[in-house]
C-alpha cells in the first residue's frame, strides 16, 4: 500500500513538472507571427539621436529593412518569442559585399524598437538602433 502511494506521488510530481515545462513553452511563438506588419521609422548609429528613414516589413516568415537595400541586404528569416504583450524577434540579413546584420527587436502594441549589429569582414562590428510605428 505504501509502495503504491509512493509511486502515485512520484507520478503526480512528474505530471506537474511536465505541465510547468509545457506552460513555459507556450511563450515561444512560431515564425510568421509578425507577418503582414510594416513599420515606418528610422535607423541610426548608436549614440546618435537622428537616423535615416526606414521601412521594416515582416512577410512570409522574413524580416526586411528597406534602408539596407542599397548595401545589398535582402530578407532574413526571423524568429519570435512572446512575453506578455511584447513580441521579441531576431533576424539575420546578409549582403554578398557588405557582410551580415544581426537584428534584435521588440514589438509592443504599434511600436517597433531594437538594435542591429553590422559585421563587415575584419572590421569592428558597428552598432545601430532602429524604431518604427505600425503602418499596417
Ramachandran angles phi, psi of 24, nearest 5°: -65, -30
Tell me the mean pLDDT in the region 79-108: 96
The DSSP element (H or E) to which 7 belongs, if any, is helix 2-25
Domain membership of residue 19 (yes or no) is no
Domain membership of residue 46 (yes or no) is yes
Domain membership of residue 121 (yes or no) is yes
Residue 136: pLDDT band (50, 70, 90) is confident
Per the structure, the count of domains in the chain is: 1
Residue 129: pLDDT band (50, 70, 90) is very high
Domain membership of residue 112 (yes or no) is yes
CA 69-112-78 angle, 5° bins: 60
Domain membership of residue 67 (yes or no) is yes
* Residues near 50 by beta carbon (within 8 Å), at least 6 away in sequence: 42, 44
Is the pLDDT score of 113 beyond 80?
yes
Contact between residue 96 and residue 70 where contact means Cβ atoms under 8 Å apart: no
Q: What CATH code is carried by the domain that includes residue 45?
A: 2.40.128.20
Can you give the pTM of this predicted structure? Answer: 0.78
Task: Say which residue the cell 548595401 belongs to.
Answer: 71
Domain membership of residue 16 (yes or no) is no
Residues 39-87 have pLDDT tens digits of 999 999 999 999 999 999 999 999 999 999 999 999 999 999 998 899 9
64: left (phi over 0), alpha (psi -120 to 50) or beta: beta
The DSSP element (H or E) to which 42 belongs, if any, is strand 37-45
- The whole domain housing 60 covers 28-134
- pLDDT of the residue at 20: 43
Amino acid at each position: 500500500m505504501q509502495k503504491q502511494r509512493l509511486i502515485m506521488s512520484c507520478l503526480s510530481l512528474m505530471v506537474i513538472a511536465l505541465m510547468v515545462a509545457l506552460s513555459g513553452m507556450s511563450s515561444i511563438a512560431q515564425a510568421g507571427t509578425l507577418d503582414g506588419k510594416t513599420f515606418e521609422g528610422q535607423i541610426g548609429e548608436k549614440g546618435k539621436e537622428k537616423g535615416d528613414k526606414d521601412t521594416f516589413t515582416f512577410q512570409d516568415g522574413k524580416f526586411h529593412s528597406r534602408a539596407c537595400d542599397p548595401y545589398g541586404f535582402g530578407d532574413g528569416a526571423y524568429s519570435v518569442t512572446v512575453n506578455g504583450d511584447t513580441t521579441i524577434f531576431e533576424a539575420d540579413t546578409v549582403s554578398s559585399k557588405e557582410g551580415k546584420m544581426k537584428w534584435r527587436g521588440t514589438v509592443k502594441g504599434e511600436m517597433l524598437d531594437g538594435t542591429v549589429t553590422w559585421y563587415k569582414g575584419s572590421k569592428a562590428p558597428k552598432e545601430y538602433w532602429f524604431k518604427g510605428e505600425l503602418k499596417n
